[in-house]
């Protein structure tokens, strides 16, 4: 298996633009997690899905952030409009079962100018 695949690896955009981050989980995994990592706040859970259904989005910072999982093999995290404080590395992870090992993608490094 190729592991969790995220795209793009790097994204540079200007404030106010829409940003879409993509994730393909490991085939057969039923949980998908989106995290954000910054030096100041560490690794924060934004939202997670079980069988494509959002379970907990309490970590989503504000309405500018939205996440979808239209099917078991694809998820998106969208920021609209983006702001400089959204600059971070965003990780997607998947797992088989909720309390088990999570497999992380390589991350998307987002820079909002």
Partner 1 sequence: SQQGEEDPQALSIQEGENATMNCSYKTSINNLQWYRQNSGRGLVHLILIRSNEREKHSGRLRVTLDTSKKSSSLLITASRAADTASYFCATDGFGNEKLTFGTGTRLTIIP
How far, in Å, CA of 38 to CA of 46, rounded? 13
Backbone angles phi, psi at 55, to 5 degrees: -100, -45
Provide the minimum distance between the beta carbon of 103 and partner 1 in the complex, in angstroms, as a whole number. Answer: 7
Among 1, 63, 71, 101, contact with partner 1 (rule: CB under 8 A): 101
Residues of this chain, 9-68, that bind partner 1 according to CB under 8 A: 31, 33, 42-43, 45, 48, 50, 55-56
Is the bond preceding residue 110 a cis peptide, omega within 30 degrees? no
Q: How many helices (H) and strands (E) does the chain have?
A: 0, 11
Residue whose CB is less far from partner 1, 18 or 56: 56
Q: Does 4 engage in binding with partner 1 (CB under 8 A)? A: yes
d(CA 7, CA 97): 24
List contacts with partner 1 (CB under 8 A): 4, 31, 33, 42-43, 45, 48, 50, 55-56, 91, 93, 98-107
């Amino acid at each position: 298996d190729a592991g969790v695949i995220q795209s793009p690896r790097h994204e540079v955009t200007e404030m106010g633009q829409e940003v879409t981050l993509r994730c393909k989980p490991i085939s057969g995994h039923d949980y998908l997690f989106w995290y954000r990592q910054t030096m100041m706040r560490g690794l924060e859970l934004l939202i997670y899905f079980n069988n494509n259904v959002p379970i907990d989005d309490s970590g989503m910072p504000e309405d500018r952030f939205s996440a979808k999982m239209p099917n078991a093999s694809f998820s998106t995290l969208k920021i609209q409009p983006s702001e400089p404080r959204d600059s971070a590395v965003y990780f997607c992870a998947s797992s088989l079962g909720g309390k088990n090992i999570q497999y992380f993608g390589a991350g998307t490094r987002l820079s909002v100018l």
